Amino acid sequence: MLELDGLVRHFDDTIALDRLSFTVPRGQVFGFLGPNGAGKSTAMRAVMRLTALDAGQVRWDGATYDLDTCRGFGYMPEERGLYPTMRVAEHLQYLARLHGLTTAAARQRAAEWLARLGLSERAQDKVEALSLGNQQRVQLAAALVHEPQLLVLDEPFSGLDPVGVDELAGVLRERARAGAAVLFSSHQLDLVEQLCESVAIVHRGRCVASGTVRELGRTGARRVEVEVTGDPDARWAAALHGVRVLGTEHGRARLVLGDGVDPQQVLAAAIAAGPVEHFAVCSRRLSEVFREAVGRPLEDVQGGVPR
């Protein structure tokens, strides 16, 4: 289990981390979210012992650790660190050796991960000859080649095509099922919602929301999804008292219900407007949780839970 406990980091007058705390269990894919400049990369560098902390602790399985322990972790930084003139297979073998694998084991693991990520045919190419998407796959293979028990990935899906996204999502699920703790940052909130069991949202260095995706989706005002034939913009809902149209997609409207508004009253109004193709009470999407969390004043947040 990875624990971030009260992390504080200043850069001159800038507070990058402000008592940041959350926990990433083993066997789970955990999403680390926040706007640009929120402190995500600084926190990940702190986990990897690449930046000093002014206060707080990072623990792995209940104990603090040093750089030597970090050799067993898998890390993909925001700034890519590949050597452009090295050949792909040679590069992975070299990095595997740095993680402590024997020459034979490094050669085997490199071949396995190149095959897993669809790069076997490019094994003898120089890294600089690859597309940006394939360079991203090599960087991911480098983080995975030693089969770490902790994966820390900064924007791993950036630059990948849909096939690459699916492949990586499958790999992360596999690593979690094998007992690893997987922490990754991303701005692709729909993907995070599908892939992660839990998330932490950070803003200005502080955790402003955390918990399982399901728990966070159940907080806040009730929502319903309604599709009325012939009214894709949900004009029928505009006149309802205490109801706000959050948005429409493919003719289906998401409505936010104020206090005291009965979903059955909304359904009755929809039926009066025309044939109802779909009606369901639903949870908040992660994108809605995110927007609310980063828009809330920080003084209204304590320990990742709204006051």
- 235 is written with which tokens? 């004009």
User: Looking at domain 221-283, which CATH architecture does it have?
Assistant: 2-Layer Sandwich (3.30)
DSSP state of 237: G
Domain boundaries, the chain: 2-216, 221-283
Give the mean pLDDT per block of 10 residues along the chain (307 residues): 96 93 95 94 95 95 90 86 91 92 94 92 93 90 92 90 89 94 93 94 94 86 88 85 86 87 90 92 86 71 43
Question: Which DSSP letter does residue 300 get?
Answer: G
Give the per-residue pLDDT at 297: 57
Long-range contacts of 289-294 (CB under 8 A, 24+ apart): 289/201, 289/209, 289/216, 289/217, 289/219, 289/220, 290/33, 290/189, 290/201, 290/209, 292/220, 293/201, 293/203, 293/208, 293/209, 294/34, 294/35, 294/38, 294/201, 294/203, 294/208
Q: Which residues pair with 210 in a beta bridge?
A: 200
Give pTM, 2 decimals.
Answer: 0.81
**Cα angle 10-14-15, degrees, rounded to a multiple of 5:** 55
pLDDT of residue 296: 65
For β-strands 181-185 and 150-154, DSSP reports them as parallel
Residue 83 token pair:
């050597």
pLDDT on residue 302: 45
| pLDDT for position 240 | 87
Q: What's the pLDDT tens digit per position in 208-224?
A: 999 999 889 888 778 88
Q: For 216-230, give one letter per residue: b (16+ CB within 10 A) or e.
A: bbeeeebbbbbbbee
Does the 2-216 domain belong in CATH 3.40.50.300?
yes
151 within 8 A of 144, measured Cβ to Cβ: yes
